[in-house]
Structure 1
C-alpha cells in the first residue's frame, strides 16, 4: 500500500471520473507518494500544523503510470508516480 497526502479543498474540486494530478504535477512532473512508514515524517516535514488533510490509500499493483523509488530527503527512497494517478488504484481515503 502506498499513500498520497492532499488538502481537502483541492481533492474535492477534482473530477471523480478523471485521473488525479496534484497541484504541483506540471511543475515537478511526478506525484509524491509515501510508504506507510514514511507518512508520519512527510506529515511532520511538509504539513506541520495543517489539518484537515486527506490520505489517499493506493494499491501499488493497480497503478498504470510508471512508479520509481528515488532518493529524496536524507537519501531515503520515496515512491514517485510519473503520470496521472488512475482512480481505480485509490482503494480508500482517510481524513487526517
Structure 2
C-alpha cells in the first residue's frame, strides 16, 4: 500500500541531497515522520498547506517501512507514522503538487 508525504521544496531538496531526512519541522517536534493515506492526503494538504506553492507529493510503500505505526490522529482516523529517518531509497515516486485556483492538484492520485 502506498502512503504519502507532502514536502516543501526545500525539504524535498534536502532529502535528495542528503539521502535521508528526519522530516519537516512538525515531524521533528513530534518525534516521527507523518504520512497520509490516499484517503487523507488531500485533507492534509488543505489543513496544513493551504495556499502553499512549490509542494511535492512523495509516495512510499508502507510494507517496506519499519518501524511504521498506525496511530489515531484527526477524528480517530489511523495515520501512518515512521519512527526512523526517511531515506531516498524509500521513495517510490514523487510528483509536484501544482496549485490551481488556490487548491492543490494531485496528478499522481486517481
Output the TM-score relative to the length of structure 1: 0.87
What do the CA deviations read for 1:12-64 (whole angstroms, capped 9, x no partner)?
A: 1345353222132332110000111111110111111111210111011222x
Looking at structure 2, the residues matched to 86 and 56 of structure 1 have their Cα atoms a distance apart, in angstroms, of 12
Unaligned stretches of 5+ in structure 1?
none
> What SS class does the counterpart of residue 40 from structure 2 fall into?
helix
After superposing on structure 2, the runs of 4+ consecutive aligned residues of structure 1 that deviate more than 6 Å are: none
Return the offset for 1:2: 0.5
- After superposition, residues 36-47 of structure 1 pair within 5 angstroms as 36-47=38-49
Let me know the Cα RMSD of the aligned residues: 1.6
> What SS class does the counterpart of residue 11 from structure 1 fall into?
helix
Output the TM-score relative to the length of structure 2: 0.77
Unaligned stretches of 5+ in structure 2?
98-110
The match for 1:69 is 70
Do the aligned residues in 2 keep the contact of 1:3 with 1:39 (CA within 8 Å)?
Answer: yes
